[in-house]
Structure formats: structure tokens, C-alpha cells
């Protein structure tokens, strides 16, 4: 099978696995990868990553360090938007409603990797999700599945930005797609509607001002006052910049079981402060949100109630 046909068949395989979008990029990529890498360096120099020191990994700037003799990267987008994504008093970002997307994406990518290994003898591959030191949004854009919006999330013209990203780096040459072109135009709704002004300029998010950062990553016992005053119900992440994006107005729903809102999220209310550590651990065991520790959930809920 020639490279072009194999690449097309690989994409069909990815869609059958349940991914919404798939694209391919060649390594080392076009000049835009260098531009995105420089942007990352400026972001780090400004300390906009706050306490997320893992963002400083050199591998994030050099994809070739992720796999020996890397030639191509396959990018997939998993649609996490479900029918139950409307939030109540205590709001949870949509990415956290269903099953742990890390496990879901990894299993689907493993299936693709094993399939590819049978098609290409001596094929070596490595799975990367957002926990891996990869310049993921830049490579998603390079693979053509979407462009980086002014809120810094990847936007696909058919699925909006409700996508969790996954990657397979391979040591074989595949047929690359054209990099995506930005379609944000003059729209800056995401910047205008951010309550804490965390999007300091198009494409640049200062984590120190971001509600999502503080509710998920901040390990301090209290919130800065400028964050606490603007929570408006958010206890795990924040969707405001995506909710106002016009490209999300007609995004399709994922009706698969793995994307459905977990029952404990539907039960979340002010009384959840009294849930024990053991109860939280049990509820969170299949959730992406287990990164938020039980004491942090109590902190977040108390902050919203007392705001």
C-alpha cells in the first residue's frame, strides 16, 4: 500500500474509533511551529504558566525528543460535548463531565497504533495526550484539524472547540495535511467576555488570572481575591471563553456513553462540602477531575457559596 492510501485508511480507522477529527503533519513541520515555539518561550518568560512548571520541559519545544527518528505526527480530536452539559449552581467545565478522556483517548489511540504496526513493519509509535510534554495545539494546527483561537483553544470549523486532543508520533513518513488557517477574523468575544481578563491579548492566557487554572491547578488553601470575586459558580474549570465563541453555536453532540455526564456531577450542590475524602475518591475514580483533590473541591465550593 502506498503512503497516500495508507494515510487515508489510517484516518478512516481513527474516525471509526470514535474521534471527531483527524489530521497528519510531517516532522519537523512548517515555519509556524517555530513561531509557536517562540510564543511558548515568551509565555514562559512572563511566568504566565504560574506554578505549572512542567510546561518548561525542553521536549515541548523539540518533538524529536519524544521518539527516536520521528517522521510524522497523527492528531485526533475527541468531542466531549454531551447533551447534559448545561451547568447548574455549581459549574463544571464540559471537558470534565464524561469519563476520564485521558483513558478514553489512550485506548482508542492504542488501537490505531497496533493497527498501524501491522500495516507498517518496524513502525515505532508513541502516544501523547495533554499530560505529555508536547506543543499540542501547535501540532493540531499543523495537522490541519483546526486553528488556535484567540482564547488559545483549537477550533474546528465543524466541531468548534469542544475537543480533547490526542497524538501518535511515528517513525514513518505519512502524507501530511495542509495546516489550518485561522477563521477567527475580527471577533474577540472570548477576550471581551473573560471576567478576569485572563486573555491578555489574542492567543495569550495568563494562568495567574484564569479561573480554570485556579480551580484545577492552584494548590493554595485560598483564592486570590480577584479570582474569588469572579467565580460565578465555577468550581472546576471555566467555559466562558468557549461558550461565547460563535464557532461553538452549532457544534454537534457526542451521544456515546463515555461522554455522558457522570451521576455525581448531577448531585453536586452546597452539601457536597460534607463529602468525605473516601466519598470524593470513589466518585472521581473514573473522572478527569480527580486532579482536583477532595480538599480543593471543598475550597472551591466554599469560595463560590461565600462569594
d(CA 214, CA 222): 10
Q: Which of 130, 239, 269, 277 is catalytic?
A: 130
d(CA 196, CA 135): 25
d(CA 265, CA 267): 5
Q: List helix spans (H) across 57-171.
A: 101-119, 136-142
* Closest C-alpha among 46, 261, 274, 79 to residue 161: 79
277: annotated active-site residue:
no
* Closest C-alpha among 281, 282, 280 to residue 301: 280
d(CA 176, CA 10): 12
Cell digits for 99?
Answer: 469519563
* Closest C-alpha among 248, 164, 199 to residue 48: 199
- Going 7 to 12 to 17 to 22, the CA torsion angle's sign is positive
What positions carry a catalytic annotation? 130
Amino acid at each position: 500500500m502506498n503512503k497516500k492510501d495508507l494515510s487515508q485508511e489510517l484516518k478512516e480507522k481513527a474516525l471509526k474509533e470514535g474521534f471527531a477529527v483527524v489530521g497528519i503533519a510531517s516532522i519537523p513541520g512548517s515555519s509556524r511551529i517555530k513561531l509557536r515555539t517562540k510564543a511558548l518561550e515568551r509565555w514562559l518568560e512572563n511566568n504566565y504558566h504560574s506554578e505549572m512548571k512542567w510546561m518548561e520541559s525542553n521536549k515541548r519545544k523539540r518533538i524529536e525528543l519524544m521518539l527516536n527518528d520521528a517522521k510524522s505526527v497523527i492528531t485526533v480530536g475527541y468531542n466531549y460535548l454531551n447533551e447534559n452539559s448545561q451547568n447548574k449552581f455549581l459549574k463544571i467545565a464540559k471537558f470534565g463531565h464524561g469519563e476520564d478522556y485521558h483513558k478514553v483517548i489512550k485506548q482508542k489511540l492504542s488501537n490505531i497504533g497496533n493497527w498501524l504496526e501491522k500495516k507498517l513493519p518496524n513502525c515505532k509509535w508513541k502516544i501523547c495526550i495533554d499530560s505529555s510534554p508536547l506543543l499540542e495545539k501547535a501540532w493540531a494546527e499543523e495537522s490541519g484539524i483546526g486553528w488556535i483561537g484567540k482564547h488559545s483553544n483549537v477550533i474546528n470549523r465543524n466541531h468548534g472547540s469542544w475537543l480533547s486532543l490526542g497524538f501518535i508520533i511515528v517513525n514513518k513518513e505519512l502524507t501530511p495535511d495542509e495546516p489550518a488557517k485561522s477563521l477567527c477574523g475580527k471577533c474577540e468575544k472570548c477576550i471581551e467576555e473573560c471576567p478576569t481578563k485572563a486573555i491578555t491579548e489574542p492567543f495569550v492566557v495568563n494562568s495567574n488570572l484564569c479561573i480554570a487554572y485556579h480551580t484545577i491547578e492552584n494548590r493554595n488553601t485560598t483564592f486570590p481575591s480577584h479570582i474569588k470575586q469572579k467565580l460565578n459558580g465555577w468550581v472546576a474549570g471555566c467555559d466562558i471563553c468557549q461558550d461565547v465563541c460563535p464557532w461553538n453555536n452549532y457544534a454537534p453532540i457526542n451521544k456515546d456513553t463515555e461522554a455522558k455526564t457522570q451521576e455525581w456531577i448531577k448531585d453536586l450542590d452546597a452539601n457536597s462540602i460534607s463529602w468525605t475524602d473516601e466519598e470524593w475518591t470513589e466518585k472521581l475514580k473514573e473522572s478527569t477531575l480527580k486532579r482536583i483533590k477532595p480538599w480543593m473541591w471543598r475550597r472551591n465550593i466554599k469560595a463560590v457559596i461565600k462569594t
